[in-house]
A and B are shown apart, each in its own frame.
Chain A
């Protein structure tokens, strides 16, 4: 079974579905949350005989989300699109290509939920971005 390191991730961000050329350059440490399934429905009934509660999955989960550190360049078009999307609240698409042999992809519609930029005296201009999914994820292995 193959094992992979994470360096080499490609993230693209655009209005287009899917993004094609709009690579988020200078992307540093990042994190992808696949979402969380909704709380279980307790379906324990009078004839539950095992002494253990019974549950059903409700069939829904929350969308994926992505957070990342970007060495921010205000003149870069994609960095500016991220900032613009945050200000407007408009939808975008995020396409992640994993650095595995098959270049698996994860695509979802999202919005820019939050941005922050620490400004220490001795530091790099880093934009911390959180993207929040708006619908289901398309995974292509």
Chain B
């Protein structure tokens, strides 16, 4: 199971997250989803450089973005996501580490957004 699948599984199983978004956690940004919702995006991946085999490990940067009609709603959702993921053991054995966060107003969707970046 890769990092995004493991993060997805953790979020849809977390009561604090699902109380806010239900099952509206997406691996790609879909059109006009019901708000609020969460989108995962693999930003970067860094495999180990080895002489012979394919790397059995990679460092993955995943951005988790919360969309809400209010700034407070986006912030509340990202706080729940940080609690659900930061340092927690995922089903694939990884432990995400929170590395960055941002809030913004997304012109394209007309929604408030809050982002959290995790290294897995």
Contact = CB atoms under 8 A, between A and B. Distances in A.
Interface of A: 6-11, 23, 25-30, 71, 99, 121-122, 124
A10 B56 CA distance: 17
Contact of A10 (B49, B51, B55, B97): B51
Contact of A8 (B51, B59, B99): B51
B48 A27 contact: no
List the 8 closest A-B pairs by CB distance, nearest first: A9-B51, A27-B51, A122-B119, A122-B97, A124-B57, A28-B50, A71-B48, A7-B51
B107 interface: no
A26 B97 contact: no
A121 B119 CA distance: 10
Q: Which of B51, B52, B56, B97 has the most CB of A within 10 A?
A: B51
B48 A30 contact: no
Main secondary structure, interface of B, reads loop
A99 B59 CA distance: 27
A71 B50 contact: yes
B90 to A, nearest CB: 15
A95 to B, nearest CB: 14
Contacts of B56: 26, 71
Given A8-B51, A9-B51, A27-B51, 7 more contacts: A10-B52, A23-B52, A27-B50, A28-B50, A29-B49, A71-B48, A99-B51
Contacts of B50: 26-28, 71
B100 interface: no
B119 to A, nearest CB: 5
A124 B51 contact: no
Given A121-B97, A122-B97, A122-B119, A25 B57 contact: no
Nearest to A9: B51
Contacts of A71: 48, 50, 55-57
Nearest to A25: B53
Contacts of A10: 51-52
A121 B55 CA distance: 20
Given A28-B48, A71-B48, A124 B53 contact: no
